[in-house]
């Protein structure tokens, strides 16, 4: 028997996330569609790095981030085992992290220190969960979780054209519409709502910790140690033309 339960746990953070913890009041957020990325084009010969389109520059960052997530085996991402409700052991994995993308236009402020502000997010994150319900005879069940939208705000600063960029602000702003399907509860069907609510809270916190820890550190490493601004631009342009070439063939 499958029990479908929808639990809305949308974390909207005001300001920065502290140690990945969601502390704000929960509220429902309705997300309609996704932001479409603009068409990319090669810059004119001799164009200065200071004139690089902000969207193209940050798409280079995202392209490299996606590649590193896959290369490091982070999709699927194993969840840390957790006890919920005092007697249910939860294990599982998150899928879809490598689909992270830019979800807003990039706002660029130029000066002695340049500032880039934009959102990144995931619109296809799911979780496969195994449940072991304690007792004299342990009982096994499973769950599937789907999240409508996961979104973060990112601010990076640095000296262009050749200086490295650094993440100065990172906040997990939305983890919305956690849909849970529970399977195999059997005699524990009466606990479906409680289990679904606890699972969504557990997954919300796990996703926030993952983004506010591992992903922020990976972005900072890419910006500060791996790629300069010109490298990010070149990588995104190459990626764009590979995709265009594949579509033609």
Q: State the Cα–Cα distance between residues 149 and 86, nearest whole angstrom.
A: 29
Cβ–Cβ < 8 Å for 121, 154: no
Task: Please determine, for residue 66, whether its predicted confidence score (pLDDT) is greater than 70.
Answer: yes
pLDDT confidence tier of residue 33, bands split at 50, 70 and 90: very low
Minimum mean pLDDT range among 4-18, 65-79, 90-104: 4-18
Cβ–Cβ < 8 Å for 113, 159: yes
Model pLDDT for residues 1-29, shown as the tens digit of each residue: 544 444 433 333 223 332 333 322 232 22
% pLDDT > 90, the chain: 52
Model pLDDT for residues 116-158, shown as the tens digit of each residue: 999 999 988 999 999 999 877 889 999 999 999 999 999 999 8
Q: State the Cα–Cα distance between residues 236 and 56, nearest whole angstrom.
A: 7
Q: State the Cα–Cα distance between residues 222 and 168, nearest whole angstrom.
A: 14
According to the model, what pLDDT value does residue 138 have?
Answer: 86
According to the model, what pLDDT value does residue 108 have?
Answer: 84
Q: State the Cα–Cα distance between residues 230 and 213, nearest whole angstrom.
A: 26
Q: State the Cα–Cα distance between residues 123 and 112, nearest whole angstrom.
A: 36
According to the model, what pLDDT value does residue 205 have?
Answer: 93
The residue with greater pLDDT, 202 or 136, is 202
% pLDDT > 70, the chain: 68
The residue with greater pLDDT, 23 or 190, is 190
pLDDT confidence tier of residue 101, bands split at 50, 70 and 90: very high
Residue 27 per-residue DSSP state: -
Phi, psi of 216 (to 5 degrees): -60, -40
* Residue among 130, 151, 144, 162 at smallest CA distance from 211: 151
Q: In order of start, what are the domains of the chain with their CATH numbers?
A: 2-17+54-244 (3.15.10)
Q: Which residues pair with 192 in a beta bridge?
A: none
73: Cβ contacts below 8 Å, ≥ 6 apart? none
According to the model, what pLDDT value does residue 232 have?
Answer: 57
According to the model, what pLDDT value does residue 207 have?
Answer: 95
Residue 168 per-residue DSSP state: E
Across 71-80, average pLDDT: 95
Task: Please determine, for residue 188, whether its predicted confidence score (pLDDT) is greater than 80.
Answer: yes
Per the listing, tokens 């939305």 go with: 174
């Amino acid at each position: 028997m499958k029990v479908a339960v929808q639990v809305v746990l949308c974390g909207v953070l005001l300001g920065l996330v502290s140690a990945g913890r969601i502390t704000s009041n929960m509220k429902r957020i309705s997300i309609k569609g996704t932001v479409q990325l603009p068409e990319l084009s090669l810059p004119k010969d001799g164009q200065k790095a200071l004139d690089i389109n902000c969207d193209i520059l940050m798409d280079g960052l995202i392209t490299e981030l996606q590649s590193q997530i896959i290369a490091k085996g982070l999709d699927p991402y194993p969840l840390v085992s957790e006890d919920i409700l005092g007697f249910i052991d939860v294990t599982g994995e998150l899928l879809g992290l490598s689909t992270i993308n830019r979800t807003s236009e990039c706002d660029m402020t130029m000066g002695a220190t340049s500032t880039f502000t934009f959102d990144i997010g995931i619109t296809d994150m799911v979780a496969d969960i195994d449940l072991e319900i304690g007792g004299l005879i342990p009982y096994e069940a499973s769950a599937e979780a789907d999240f409508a939208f996961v979104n973060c705000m990112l601010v990076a600063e640095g000296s262009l054209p050749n200086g490295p960029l650094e993440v100065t602000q990172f906040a997990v702003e939305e983890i919305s519409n956690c849909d849970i399907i529970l399977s195999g509860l059997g005699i524990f069907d009466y606990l479906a709502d409680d289990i679904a609510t606890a699972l969504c809270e557990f997954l919300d916190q796990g996703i926030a910790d993952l983004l506010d820890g591992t992903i922020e550190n990976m972005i900072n490493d890419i910006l500060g140690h791996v790629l300069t601004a010109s490298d990010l631009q070149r990588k995104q342009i190459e990626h764009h033309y590979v995709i265009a070439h594949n579509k033609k063939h």
